C-alpha cells in the first residue's frame, strides 16, 4: 500500500488517541494500519457460516479458536445439516484445540443463551467466559472469530463484522430468513429476513486482531462486573472471575493481498479503566468522521439504527461543504422492537438524525429500506460505510453514540492498493482513483438491492446513482399499490424509508429513555461536555 495515498484516509497513531493499547504500540512503530492483507466480504449469514464451518473443520490439535460475541446460541446450525455452533466448538476443544471465548453476559434475564453456549464448550475443555466488564446499560458488541494454525502460521485468519453466532442470522440473498429465528413476534414476522456482513481477513492485520482479543482476555478486572446480582449469579454457577493464562503470541503474518486494513475499536471510559484504554478508545468514531470528511461524490451507508445528532453531524457538515455530494442510506423499515414503550425511543433518534441530514442535503439525501421478493421487509443489521468507491468500513459498530462511545466494538477500515480500471476510474475527481475492494463491495450490495447484475455499467457511475435508487423504489411502490394484479415483484427490492412519526406527547418521555438507555454517551462526564471524540 502506498503510504502517501493512504495518508488522508487512515488515522495516524496520534489521532487514534489510545497510548495504553498494544494495538497502538504496534501502530506507533511507524504505521497506524497494516498493508498486504486479503479481505473478503461475506454478505449475509449463510456465506459466513459456510466459510466458518469449513475453516473450523480443518483445524488440528494445537491450533486455536478465539472469539468474542454479543450473543451465541449453542444450537444454531452453521449449515442446513449442521453442525451446530456449540457442538462444533465443543468437539474442537475435546480434540486438543485451544477454544476460548468472551461472550457478553447480557442482562440477567437475557443471558440464558450465552450461559448454555459457555456450558457446552467448557464441559469439553474449552474456556468460554461470560464478560460483564461494561458500563451500566452497556454491552460487549464485538463479533470476532480468530483462527490460528500452529504448524502453518501464515494460514491463520479472522472473521470480523456484524454477524453473531446466534439464532436469526443464517439468511441468504433470497432473504427468506433463518429457519431458527431469534424472535417469532413483531413486524418482521415469525422468520425475520436478515441482511448482514462479515469480513474474512488474512495477513498482517490478523496479528492486530489477536492482540485486541488478548487485551480483553488479560484485563484483570473481575468478569462479573459491579452489580450484586451478576456477582451472585457468578458465584452460584461457580464461574471463574478471572481468565486463565493465554498462550504466547504467534509469529507475524506474511502478506496475503492488496488491502491495507486499520483495526478500529470502541471502549468506554469505565470507572475501573480498561488497562489498554484507560480513558476509553473511540477510534471507530474518529475514523468514520475522517473518512466522511474526505467524501466528494457519494457516501453509501447501511446501518441498523442511524441515531444520534453527534454521529450524523459529520455527514451533515460534509453535505453542506460539498454541494455535489450525494448520500444514500439503507436502514431497517421498522425498529426491531416496536412495543408501546420500546417503539418511540427506538424511533426518536433516527427521526431527529434524518431531519438534520435533509436540512443539510435536501434531495441529495436518499433514505431507503429493503424487502424480499415476497414483499416482506428485511431487517438491516449490516454496518457499512463506503466513500467514493475508495474507502470502506465494515464491522460491529452502528452509526450512533452508543457504538461510538459506550459499548465495546470492533470494525475494519479497508483501502485497496489496486485501482479499479472500469470507468469512471476517478469518481471523486481527486486523483486517488476507484479502489477494487470498496467498489466491488458496493456493486455486490447494490446488485442485490437494486435487482441488477454486478457487471451492469449503470451501477458504476456515482452521479447517476441517486436516480437509479429513486426509480427502483418507485417500481416497488407501484407494485405494492397494484399488488392485487398478480404481477411478480420487481427485481429491485428498495422502498423509500418512511419512519412512523411520533405523537407530540411521547417525545418528552421517549427522548429521556433514548438518551439514557438506548443511545448513552460513554466518553465520561468531562469529555462528553466537549465536542468531538
Same domain membership, residue 81 and residue 200: yes
Enter the DSSP assignment of 55.
H
Are 144 and 212 spatial neighbours (Cβ–Cβ below 8 Å)? yes
Q: How many residues make up the chain in this entry? A: 533
Same domain, 298 and 369: yes
Please count the CA atoms within 13 angstroms of the CA of 13 that sit on its side-chain side: 14
Q: What is the pTM of this model?
A: 0.95
275 lies in a domain? Answer: no
Distance, CA of 356 to CA of 321 (rounded, Å): 15
Q: Indicate whether 412 and 524 sit together in one domain.
A: yes
Structural domain contains residue 231? no
Q: Give the pLDDT of the chain (533 residues) as one tens digit per residue.
A: 454 456 688 887 778 777 677 766 655 444 568 999 999 999 999 999 999 999 999 999 999 999 999 999 999 999 999 999 999 999 999 999 999 999 998 866 567 899 999 999 999 999 999 999 999 889 999 999 999 998 776 689 999 999 999 999 999 999 999 999 987 668 899 999 999 999 999 999 999 999 999 999 999 998 876 566 666 666 666 666 678 888 877 767 788 999 999 999 999 999 999 999 999 999 999 999 999 999 999 999 999 999 888 889 999 999 999 999 999 999 999 998 777 768 888 889 999 999 999 999 999 999 999 999 999 999 999 999 999 999 999 999 999 999 999 999 999 999 999 999 999 999 999 999 999 999 999 999 999 999 999 999 999 999 999 999 999 999 999 999 997 668 899 999 999 999 988 888 888 888 888 888 899 999 987 665 566 78
With both helix axes pointing from N to C terminus, report the angle between 309-321 and 283-292 in degrees, rounded to the nearest 10: 20
- How many Cα atoms are found within 13 Å in the side-chain-facing hemisphere of 371? 23
- Tell me which residue of 378, 463, 354 sits closest to 177, measured CA to CA: 378
The answer to whether residue 3 is domain-embedded is no
| Residue 371 · residue 493 · CB < 8 Å | yes
User: Cα–Cα distance between 23 and 19 in angstroms, integer?
Assistant: 9
Q: Which domain holds residue 42?
A: 27-222+253-257
Residue corresponding to grid cell 475443555 = 125
Specify if 241 maps to a domain. Answer: no
- Quote the cell numbers at residue 531: 465536542
Q: For residues 113 and 71, is the Cβ–Cβ distance under 8 A?
A: yes
Same domain for 314 and 168:
no
Evaluate whether 495 touches 370 at the Cβ level (below 8 Å). yes
User: In this predicted structure, what is the pLDDT of residue 3?
Assistant: 45
Q: Is 4 exposed, middle or buried (0-12, 13-18, 19+ CB in 10 A)?
A: exposed
Say yes or no: 218 and 296 in one domain: no
Query: What H or E segment, with its residue span, contains residue 421?
Result: none
Residue 182 contacts residue 196 (beta carbons within 8 Å): no
Check residue 485 and report its DSSP letter.
Answer: G
Q: Flag whether 448 is in a domain.
A: yes
How many independent structural domains does the chain possess? 2
88 and 182 housed in the same domain: yes
Q: What are phi and psi of 42, to 5 degrees?
A: -110, 105
The alpha helices in 126-277, defined as continuous H runs, are: 205-217, 228-236
Q: Same structural domain for residues 308 and 192?
A: no
DSSP β-bridge partners for residue 493: none
Neighbouring C-alpha atoms within 13 Å toward the C-beta of 325: 23
Angle at 268 between CA 311 and CA 315, to 5 degrees: 10
CA 238 to chain centroid: 33
CATH number at residue 402: 3.30.870.10
Do 201 and 298 fall into the same domain? no
Same-domain check for residues 288 and 217: no
Place of cell 469480513: 199
User: Do residue 53 and residue 174 come from a single domain?
Assistant: yes
Let me know whether 53 and 139 are in one domain.
yes
Distance CA 455, CA 459 (A): 8
Q: Is 140 part of any domain?
A: yes
- Residue 403's pLDDT is 97
The closest alpha carbon to 207, from 18, 27, 418, belongs to 27
Q: Which three cell numbers stand for residue 198?
A: 462479515
- 313 and 207 housed in the same domain: no
Tell me if 276 is assigned to some domain. no
Q: Looking at 257, 273, 301, which one is the last position of a domain?
A: 257
Query: What SS3 string covers 233-274?
Result: HHHHCCCCCCCCCCCCCCCCCCCCCCEEEEEEEEECCCCCCE
User: Rounded to whole angstroms, how far apart are CA atoms 345 and 360?
Assistant: 24
C-alpha cell, 13: 497513531
Q: Is residue 459 part of a domain?
A: yes
Amino acid at each position: 500500500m502506498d503510504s502517501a495515498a493512504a495518508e488522508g484516509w487512515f488515522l495516524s497513531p496520534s489521532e487514534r488517541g489510545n497510548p495504553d493499547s498494544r494495538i497502538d504500540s504496534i501502530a506507533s512503530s511507524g504505521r497506524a494500519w497494516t498493508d498486504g492483507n486479503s479481505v473478503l466480504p461475506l454478505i449475509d449469514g449463510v456465506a459466513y457460516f459456510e466459510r466458518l464451518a469449513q475453516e473450523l473443520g480443518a483445524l488440528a490439535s494445537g491450533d486455536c479458536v478465539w472469539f468474542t460475541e454479543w450473543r451465541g446460541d449453542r444450537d444454531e446450525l452453521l449449515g442446513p445439516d449442521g453442525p451446530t455452533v456449540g457442538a462444533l466448538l465443543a468437539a474442537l476443544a475435546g480434540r486438543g484445540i485451544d477454544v476460548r471465548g468472551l461472550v457478553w453476559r447480557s442482562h440477567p434475564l437475557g443471558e440464558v443463551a450465552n450461559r448454555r453456549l459457555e456450558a457446552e464448550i467448557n464441559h469439553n475443555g474449552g474456556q468460554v467466559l461470560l464478560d460483564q466488564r461494561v458500563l451500566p446499560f452497556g454491552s460487549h458488541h464485538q463479533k470476532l472469530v480468530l483462527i490460528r494454525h500452529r504448524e502453518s502460521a501464515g494460514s491463520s485468519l479472522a472473521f470480523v463484522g456484524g454477524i453473531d453466532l446466534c439464532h436469526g442470522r443464517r439468511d441468504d440473498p433470497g432473504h427468506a430468513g433463518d429457519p431458527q429465528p431469534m424472535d417469532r413476534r413483531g413486524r418482521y414476522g415469525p422468520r425475520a429476513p436478515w441482511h448482514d456482513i462479515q469480513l474474512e481477513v488474512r495477513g498482517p492485520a490478523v496479528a492486530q486482531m489477536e492482540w485486541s482479543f488478548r487485551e480483553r482476555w488479560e484485563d484483570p478486572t473481575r468478569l462479573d462486573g459491579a452489580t450484586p446480582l451478576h456477582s451472585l449469579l457468578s458465584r452460584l454457577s461457580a464461574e471463574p472471575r478471572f481468565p486463565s493464562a493465554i498462550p504466547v503470541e504467534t509469529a507475524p503474518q506474511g502478506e496475503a493481498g492488496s488491502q491495507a486494513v486499520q483495526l478500529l475499536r470502541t471502549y468506554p471510559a469505565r470507572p475501573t479503566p480498561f488497562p489498554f484504554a484507560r480513558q476509553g478508545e473511540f477510534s471507530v468514531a474518529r475514523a468514520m468522521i475522517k473518512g466522511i470528511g474526505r467524501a466528494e461524490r457519494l457516501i453509501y451507508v447501511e446501518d441498523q439504527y442511524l441515531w444520534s445528532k453527534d454521529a450524523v453531524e459529520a455527514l451533515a457538515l460534509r453535505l453542506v461543504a460539498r454541494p455535489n455530494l450525494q448520500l444514500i442510506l439503507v436502514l431497517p423499515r421498522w425498529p426491531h422492537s416496536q412495543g408501546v414503550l420500546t417503539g418511540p425511543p427506538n424511533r426518536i433518534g433516527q427521526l431527529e438524525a434524518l431531519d438534520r441530514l435533509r436540512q443539510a442535503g435536501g434531495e441529495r439525501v436518499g433514505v431507503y429500506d429493503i424487502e424480499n421478493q415476497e414483499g416482506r421487509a428485511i431487517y438491516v443489521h449490516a454496518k457499512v460505510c463506503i466513500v467514493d468507491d475508495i474507502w470502506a468500513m465494515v464491522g460491529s459498530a452502528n452509526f450512533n453514540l452508543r457504538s461510538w462511545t459506550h459499548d465495546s466494538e470492533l470494525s475494519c477500515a479497508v483501502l485497496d492498493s489496486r485501482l479499479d480500471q472500469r470507468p469512471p476510474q476517478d469518481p471523486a475527481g481527486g486523483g486517488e482513483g476507484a479502489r477494487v475492494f470498496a467498489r466491488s463491495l458496493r456493486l455486490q450490495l447494490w446488485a442485490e438491492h437494486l435487482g441488477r447484475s454486478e457487471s451492469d455499467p449503470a451501477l458504476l457511475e456515482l452521479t447517476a446513482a441517486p436516480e437509479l435508487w429513486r426509480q427502483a423504489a418507485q417500481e416497488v411502490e407501484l407494485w405494492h399499490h397494484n399488488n392485487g394484479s398478480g404481477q411478480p415483484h420487481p427485481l429491485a427490492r428498495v422502498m423509500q424509508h418512511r419512519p412512523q412519526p411520533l405523537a407530540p406527547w411521547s417525545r418528552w418521555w421517549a427522548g429521556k429513555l433514548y438518551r439514557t438507555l438506548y443511545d448513552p454517551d460513554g466518553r465520561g462526564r468531562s469529555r462528553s461536555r466537549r465536542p468531538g471524540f
